[in-house]
A and B are shown apart, each in its own frame.
Chain A
Amino acid sequence: MGNCFGSEEDVDDISLLRNEESSDDDELRYPPPYMPPYQSDQGEQSQTIYHLSPGQSRTANELTEEEKVRVAQREGLIDHLPRNTWDENHVTNKKVRECCICMIDFEQDEPIRYLPCMHYYHLDCIDDWLMRSFTCPTCMEPVDAALLLSYDSQNLDSG
């Protein structure tokens, strides 16, 4: 809590529906300054969109140098988190069978990712979220603290 004063947007008396349409206009008003030739025949859809935080999205061209570093660092951290595939043969009754991000049941051999708190999600679902916020959606634990701890113990073990 406590951030409500900072977020005084120009919402005013317009309804949520009309507000949403006007944000589409914003995108039209700010086209990417330069479209690399290899993407030009595929249109805007093919551009990778980066999400710096929930609700903040940019194309690669719109990122500042600092943000590009942040994105690369984050991608590196996510890569270090354990991944696995869903195996129906090892599922107990107690186990959660539904990815709480997309609300679709896990299927045999689907890629999943575990967080240090042992909550797990579809790989694509959780990676999409971790790029925006490095927290577990279920328990809200920050992921990086636990990760750094595990790095430290690895270093101690090897030394």
Chain B
Amino acid sequence: MAGLPRRITKETQRLLSEPVQGISATPDENNLRYFHVTINGPKDSPFEGGVFKLELFLPEEYPMAAPKVRFNTKIYHPNIDKIGRICLDILKDKWSPALQVRTVLLSIQALLSAPNPDDPLANDVADNWKRNEAAAIKTAREWTQKYAMSGGQ
């Protein structure tokens, strides 16, 4: 593999020296393009109190192509499917090389605060979210407790 681009080194240093509140991103010791990420469930969301694990990979083309990100912790969210894939425009057609690992993770954190059932990835979850929001939020809270709190998987 070619050497690590300066940009990735710089981003990693800045992520470690000026961390974002509620988010951690640590490069893997064997692959500096692969990050172990945690995002704390935002306050006043059904994910509050949960710590969600994600994996983030910077492909060879980065920053010309978006990072690949997915949830490793199970989550009940209309824009995240059962294997953790995320429906977020900046990870697809709205990617720009001016965006960074930091901004991507902030956007994912914002997505947890503002689920968007009109642009679903997990169809069944989105249907429930639209049909009975209170019940969906309750399920999301239960999943957070079960999978994203200490003792959960």
Contact = CB atoms under 8 A, between A and B. Distances in A.
B87 A4 contact: yes
B57 A103 contact: no
- Per DSSP, are chain B's interface residues mostly helix, strand or loop, or mixed? loop
Interface residues of B, number: 36
B64 A54 contact: yes
Interface in A78-115: 100-104
A138 B99 CA distance: 8
B61 A55 contact: yes
Contacts, number: 81
B124 to A, nearest CB: 14
Nearest to B116: A1
A128 B64 contact: yes
A2 B97 contact: no
Nearest to B87: A4
Contact of A140 (B68, B85, B96): B96
B133 interface: no
Contacts of A102: 5-7
Given A16-B55, A16-B57, A55-B65, A4 B92 contact: yes
Contact of A13 (B31, B55, B83, B120): B83
Contacts of A54: 61, 64-66, 95
The CB with the most chain A CB atoms within 10 A, among B6, B64, B68, B93, is that of: B64
Interface in B72-100: 79, 83, 85, 87-89, 92-98
A14 to B, nearest CB: 9
Contact of B34 (A7, A17, A137): A17
A17 B57 contact: yes
Nearest to B68: A16
B64 A135 contact: no
14 contacts: A1-B94, A1-B116, A4-B121, A5-B121, A7-B92, A11-B83, A16-B70, A20-B68, A51-B64, A55-B65, A103-B7, A125-B97, A137-B97, A138-B96
Given A2-B89, A16-B68, A104-B6, 10 more contacts: A1-B88, A4-B119, A7-B92, A20-B59, A54-B66, A54-B95, A55-B65, A100-B98, A125-B97, A137-B98
